[in-house]
């Protein structure tokens, strides 16, 4: 069906597309190893976060935590804020977002366009600092509702009830699911669903390895693991550096015509690693990975232009010195 | 047997400021014991009194999380790369990557504008 009563009803139901050019070649007669991309950029505000935002708001409405005219407060580096801003607008709420001050101008413009108010937290503290500032604001404004995507079960449930079933419906032969690890909601929800339905399913996390600024904590004890995270849902977890993520992001658009954000490049890097392992072992594999968003919001970085060698050179010594 | 270990900023007080050190051991536990002899106190920052990896510490062998490879029993081989990182809230990757690229581009642009000291022109 391609007709919906409202934009909110058009959330989810995203395409799963094969990547025949990027899938590794196998020897003649060997079992096929195929890569599939779940295009979550085809959601109403252009990212996977529409699913979580809609489920978190609905859940808060149903529990009575959220009433018409209320203010929603959320620490977010962008996509969740944009998704929540759209949902809040259509459902009649005010949205206040807390985000690190070093985010791209596209995100800030998008959020303001959707009607969100923004409070910046110091860049040096990364997203941990944004979470801390949001928690402080929440204490000062007890009437504001913090949906808190890092700990809200409705975030993971959105993927257990929608993304997971869509993947299995479209790819019954799935052997691996690969996605980025942020709030962990996508991997927890899809992972739990597929583990219930598919024997031997591999649930693989690709975790971005940030620049040192993000890790500049004073003490290990100030670290943070999202409340949603349950390591037993995953089977493997990779750390992917910026250079690999940017190279894969460019490869996706050059080889398969898919224009995606950098986090998807990190996810593809992990997906290719498990795909090549399957080829080596002579095992059949259908590796589905999640495209969290398109590349539009990152164009101002300039990282899509120039040659691959220039990008590599530009990143050398920047994050891994 | 040499294994390169990358040390995060907050633990470099134990390594005399070194970003990367070398150690030996056929498991992660053995490697950390070896490192602790050279850099006293380092192991205590990573391993709890109960003998498990600290909750807010992530350790990767060749970019893969050791918690899925046997944790402290994870096998190591000569030439492996071990990376130690604190756990942080995720979701800001695009910006972390983007900020690094923009900073670098700005630095390069500044160098292009002023390529050499005035006396050499």
Segment-wise mean pLDDT, segments of 10 residues, chain B, 121 residues:
89 93 96 96 93 91 96 95 81 38 45 48 39
**Pick from A60-64, A313-317, B61-65: least confident:** A313-317
Q: Do A206 and A236 touch, CB atoms closer than 8 A? A: no
Average pLDDT, chain A: 88
Q: Return the top range by mean pLDDT from A123-132, A135-144, A274-283, B5-14.
A: A274-283
With beta carbons less than 8 A apart as the criterion, state whether A111 and A97 touch: yes
Number of residues written out for chain B: 121
Please give the residue of chain B at the shortest CA–CA distance from A293.
B94
Partner residues linked to B108 by β-bridges = none
Query: The whole model's pTM is what?
Result: 0.86
DSSP result, A99-145 = EETTS-HHHHHHHHHTT-EEEEE-GGGHHHHHHHHHHHHHHH-TTSE
CB contact under 8 A, A100 and B63: no
β-bridge mates for residue B53, sequence order: B47
Range name among A85-94, A232-241, B82-91 with the lowest pLDDT average: B82-91
Helix axes B93-113, A308-315, angle to 10 degrees: 90
Q: How confident is the model at residue A90 (pLDDT cuts 50, 70, 90)?
A: very high
Please calculate the CA angle A56-A214-A110 and round it to the nearest 5 degrees.
45
Percent of chain A with pLDDT over 90: 65
The mean pLDDT value for A225-245 works out to 91
Select the residue from B68, B91, B108 to test the A interface by mutation, using most A Cβ atoms within 10 A. B91
pLDDT, mean of residues A80-105: 89
pLDDT at A307 over 70: no
* Confidence at residue A318, expressed as pLDDT on a 0 to 100 scale: 30
**pLDDT score of B97:** 35
pLDDT at position A316 is 38
pLDDT reading at A305 higher than 80? no
What is the nearest CA distance from B1 to chain A, expressed in angstroms?
A: 23
pLDDT at B86: 84
Tell me the C-alpha distance between A66 and A62, whole Å: 8
Check residue A105 and give its pLDDT: 75
pLDDT band at A84 (very low <50, low <70, confident <90, very high): very high
pLDDT classification of A76: cutoffs 50, 70, 90: confident
* CB-CB under 8 Å, B105 with A127: no
CA distances from A97 to A45, A105, B71 (A): 16, 15, 37
- Residue A283: its pLDDT value, please? 97
- Considering only CB atoms, which chain A residues are within 8 Å of B84? none
Sheet holding A236-241, edge to edge: A16-18, A33-39, A285-291, A176-180, A202-209, A236-241, B64-65, B57-61, B81-86, B3-6, B20-23
Percent helix, strand and coil across chain B, each rounded to 5?
45, 20, 35
């Amino acid at each position: 069906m391609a007709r919906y009563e409202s934009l909110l009803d058009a959330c989810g139901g995203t395409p799963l597309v094969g990547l025949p050019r990027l899938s590794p070649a196998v020897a003649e007669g060997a079992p096929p190893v195929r890569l599939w991309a779940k295009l979550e950029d085809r959601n109403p505000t252009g990212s996977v976060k529409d699913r979580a935002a809609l489920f978190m708001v609905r859940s808060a409405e149903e529990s009575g935590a959220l009433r018409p005219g209320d203010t929603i407060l959320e620490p977010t580096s962008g996509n969740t804020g944009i998704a929540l801003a759209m949902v809040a607008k259509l459902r009649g709420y005010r949205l206040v977002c807390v985000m690190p001050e070093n985010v791209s101008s596209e995100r800030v413009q998008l959020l303001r366009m959707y009607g969100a108010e923004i409070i910046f937290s110091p860049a040096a503290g990364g997203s941990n600092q944004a979470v801390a500032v949001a928690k402080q604001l929440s204490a000062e404004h007890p009437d504001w509702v913090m949906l808190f995507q890092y700990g809200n079960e409705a975030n993971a449930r959105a993927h257990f009830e929608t993304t997971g079933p869509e993947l299995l419906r479209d790819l019954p032969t799935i052997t691996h699911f690969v996605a980025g690890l942020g709030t962990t909601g996508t991997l927890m929800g899809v992972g739990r669903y597929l583990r219930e339905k598919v024997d031997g399913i591999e649930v693989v996390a690709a975790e971005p390895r940030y620049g040192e600024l993000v890790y500049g904590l004073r003490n290990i004890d100030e670290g943070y693991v999202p409340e949603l995270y349950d390591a037993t849902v995953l089977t493997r977890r990779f750390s992917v550096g910026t250079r690999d993520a940017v190279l894969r992001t460019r490869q996706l658009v050059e080889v398969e015509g898919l224009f995606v954000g950098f986090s998807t490049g990190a996810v593809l890097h992990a997906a290719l690693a498990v795909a090549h392992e399957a080829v080596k072992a002579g095992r059949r594999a259908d590796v589905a990975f999640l495209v969290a968003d398109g590349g539009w919001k990152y164009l101002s970085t300039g990282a899509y232009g120039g040659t691959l060698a220039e990008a590599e050179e530009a990143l050398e010594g920047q994050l891994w010195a | 047997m040499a294994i390169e270990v990358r040390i995060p900023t907050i633990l470099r007080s134990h390594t005399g400021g070194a970003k990367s050190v070398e150690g030996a051991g056929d498991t992660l536990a053995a490697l950390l014991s070896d490192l602790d002899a050279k850099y006293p106190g380092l192991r205590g920052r990573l391993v709890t009194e109960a003998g498990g990896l600290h909750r807010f510490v992530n350790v990767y062998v060749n970019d893969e999380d050791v918690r899925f490879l046997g944790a402290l029993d994870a096998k190591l081989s000569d030439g492996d790369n071990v990376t130690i990182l604190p756990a942080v809230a995720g979701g800001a990757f695009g910006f972390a990557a983007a900020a690094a690229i923009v900073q670098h581009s700005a630095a390069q642009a500044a160098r292009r504008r002023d390529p050499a000291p005035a006396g050499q022109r």
